[in-house]
Amino acid sequence: MDKTFLRMLVGAMVLMMSFAGCGTEQRLETQPSSSQEAVSAETVQPGSVEDAASGQLSLEGSGERQNDASEEENSAMKVQVLVNGETFTATMEQNRTADAFLKMVESGPITLQLSDYAGFEKVGPLGQSLPTDNHQTTTRAGDIVLYQGNQIVIFYGSNSWSYTRLGKIDDLTGWEEALGRGDVSVTFSLAQK
């Protein structure tokens, strides 16, 4: 009986592997810039794009897909981050967590009291929970993340932990100096266009 079960298991695995190899897939990877690491890759079936909200497939040419990606990149939401009288601009991620945060900011500026932690980050309560999509992440100076669903963390150093990315400061000139030492008040508002 054990040999029969083993044969059935091996047969099922061979069948599953053959189904997995049937589709032709292309792997598109985000290339890192000099100040940012590649954080994701997506698998796309040639000639189709899956609608994430409905799970339906629609046929689109690859040129249209590239144009859509360019338009999304150009329409990336920006927020202003005011720290000790210095204003910085951050580009927000395109994910549901950043969208929820942006909805909060659209209602008016959000001022948070952030405490210095471990000499590389400022962290403080957001006052409400946002949806999360935590991943093991190595942060860099200028990263803005959500921790435990309700804590905003901004980095002037680096750390590796499970976070949901919210955004990144565009220009780090004066960033560490503005954050200073100790606790700080930070205001997030919509960037002026």
Q: How many CA atoms lie within 13 A of 34 on its CB side?
A: 2
- Between the CA atoms of 171, 41, 137 and 88, what dihedral angle is there, to the nearest 10 degrees? 20
Closest CA to 169 of 136, 187, 142, 141: 142
CATH class, range 78-190 = mainly beta
Each of the 193 residues of the chain gets a pLDDT tens digit; together they read 556 555 665 555 554 444 444 443 333 333 333 333 333 333 333 333 333 333 333 333 444 444 444 344 446 799 999 999 999 999 999 999 999 999 999 999 999 999 999 999 999 999 999 999 999 999 999 999 999 999 999 999 999 999 999 999 999 999 999 999 899 999 999 987 6
Q: What residue ranges do the domains of the chain occupy?
A: 2-74, 78-190
Per the listing, tokens 């309560």 go with: 125
Q: Which pTM does this prediction carry?
A: 0.62
What is the number of alpha carbons within 13 Å of residue 19 lying toward its C-beta? Answer: 5
Q: What is the DSSP letter of 150?
A: T
pLDDT, residue 49, reads 34
Q: Quick one: tokens of 52?
A: 């994430």
76 CB-near residues (< 8 Å, 6+ apart): 91, 92, 94
The token pair at 14 is: 């061979």
